[in-house]
Amino acid sequence: MSASKPPTQPLPQPDTAWRELHEAATLPYKTAGNFAWRFARGKLGRDPVFRGLIERRLIDARHARVVDIGCGQGLFASLLASMSAMQAKGRWPASWPATTAAAQYTGIELMPKDIARAQASIGHLRPAPRLLCADMCNADLPACDLVVILDVLHYVDIPAQNDVLRRVRDALQPEGRLLLRVGDASDRRGFAVSQWVDRMVTRIRGHKVSPTWGRPLSAWVAALEGFGFKVHSVPMSQGTPFANVLLVADICLPEVKE
């Protein structure tokens, strides 16, 4: 008589899986100190964008080469690695898209303190993340499948914003995707709250508060379409008073004529 197989463990429900993912992705930041750990836990736990990217199926196994512009302390890299580990252990909800087994991650961040916290926290990941202390306006962008820019492009003026978007388009490979979160300046109240909180967080992180340049959502979409992206927008400020919108911009493939 053959030995019976152990029963298959049921896949976790999304809420349970998200709690596991939150713990796994933020735990490495204890290495960099209490501030880094608490900031990671608060950011991942309260900002709707991270879970939203997963549950809206905006990142998946095709996105193996990732560039994170304005990466801070590299939280997105830790999230990707934890996603892969959970999937390998069979702890991935059926409703969530499969993720790449080992993302090649490049993080670009202007602030040396954030890069130092990233190195201390996620430098052990394999493949090793490439963490660059550089200005997004002139940093080299490697060929990639996914570019993530969350809440940082407004720190440079509009011509510089357009130049970053052009360089992103050139770096993205066929079927590549840009995930760009911006504030919608046409929502005056929500945009003003976003700007005030942004300045406060900048001060808390020990950085200089700089001028910012916003645009109405329609202007952001027009700019991206002008660079050849196919764009759709997703509200991304659930549970917050902000005017944040996630722009999902895909590289348009040329039509094949029969």
At 174, which helix (H) or strand (E)?
strand 172-183
pLDDT of residue 236: 78
Distance in angstroms (rounded) separating the CA atoms of residues 81 and 87 = 10
CA proximity to 43, closest of 72, 64, 63, 14:
72
Tens-digit pLDDT string for the chain (258 aa): 444 444 467 888 999 999 999 999 999 999 999 999 999 999 999 999 999 999 999 999 999 999 999 999 999 999 999 999 999 999 999 999 999 889 999 999 999 999 999 999 999 999 999 999 999 999 999 999 999 999 999 999 999 999 999 999 999 999 999 999 999 888 656 555 566 566 666 655 566 667 788 899 999 999 999 999 999 999 877 666 678 999 999 998 665 455
What does the alpha-carbon distance between residue 70 and residue 103 come to, in Å, rounded to a whole number?
18
Residue 253: predicted pLDDT: 66
